[in-house]
Amino acid sequence: MTSTTPPEIAAKVEALIPKFQLTRLLNSDQAGRRISLLGTIESQQALFIAERAAFDTSDSNLRSFSTSLRNIKNLGANDIYSWFLANSNPNFTGTDGQAPPDFKLNLICPCTQKHINKYEAQGLRVVTETPDIYAKYVRPYMHSQREKGALNWVFNIIEGRTEQEDVMYREHGSSGFLLLPDLNWDRKTLKSLHLLGLVERRDIWSVRDLKKGNVEWLKHMREKMIEATVGLYPEIERDQLKLYVHYQPTYYHCHIHIVHVALEAGNTQAIGKALGLENIISQLETMAGNDDAGMQDVSLTYHLGERSELWEKVYLPLKEGREVKVNEF
């Protein structure tokens, strides 16, 4: 970015930054990407607000980006997924003598076209999934995705083959579940805490499979997940946690997200993506019918990317009055 400030003024204000003397941290937000500091410059109070700059997306910079990283530290790996911390300024060291990480990295290798579509910039569409659309098209799509082995990494964790050192709490059996850090959390910044609750049973693929008969199980899981989280992180209180599920989820095996309420709500917590667990429980409790009545009987409205398979294979054909080719899922 080119500055329009006269050179003499630019030099004067740039010289102020090294003179800043910290008094205290005022705030850390955007999942730790912005800090607001109170301090002094030459005995005058000053506010110093810093946030990570946008990435340089020039071709030359992107080609050298991966080789410019230093102090890469793996946080975990499972199947095609792995995640890391790294830094870009090895000349600066913290109080522990180590260069503090300024990047949280996720690696998917080998990735599929579905992964590419998910992360590529694309337009969004709002769709309403009726019980009929779910039964005729979406449920068969879910089945096809599970049959392709997309859940191998989940089953690796549940069956004890990988990431067992990360399991923070576990209950076995038909009502069992386990709790572990989400791969998008740096495992350090409590205000961006993000944990994942994976259920052991495999018959609940998404919120659509939840029924009135599951209410007590859901309440039990919610209580145990909150208890485990505040037990592991005493600085966090119960009413600072938010629990939700995604619909559509990234993968079709029931899992619950546990996040700090201060975690800024990006797309993953937006209306049209996240459903509060307490609201789901309440909806099931007040639903007419017996224990078999459930979320398969309601319409759900959410957003989809225009490159997602559900949009391309289900909702776009429905919008245009074309046949949905279920046999091509």
Q: What is the 3-state secondary structure (H, E, C) of 145-196?
A: HHHCCCCHHHHHHHCCCCCHHHCCEEECCCCCEEEEECCCCCCCCHHHCEEE
Please pick, among 253, 255, 257, 260, the residue that the annotation labels catalytic. 255
- CA-wise closest residue to 160 among 182, 180, 186: 180
Give the separation between CA 13 and CA 11, rounded to whole angstroms: 6
Both structure tokens of 229 = 């989280």
Q: The tokens 């506010």 sit on which residue?
A: 47
Confirm whether 143 is a catalytic residue: no
- Spell out the long-range contacts of 153-162 with Cβ–Cβ below 8 A and sequence spacing 24 or more: 153/78, 153/79, 153/80, 153/81, 154/198, 154/251, 154/253, 154/255, 156/78, 156/79, 157/78, 157/198, 158/198, 158/200, 162/77, 162/78, 162/79
Give the separation between CA 181 and CA 167, rounded to whole angstroms: 8
Q: What is the 3-state secondary structure (H, E, C) of 224-284?
A: HHHHHHHHHCCCCCHHHEEEEEECCCCCCCCEEEEEECCCCCCHHHCCCCEEEHHHHHHHH
Contact 136, 323 (CB under 8 A): no
Contact 314, 324 (CB under 8 A): yes
- Please give the positions annotated as active site: 255
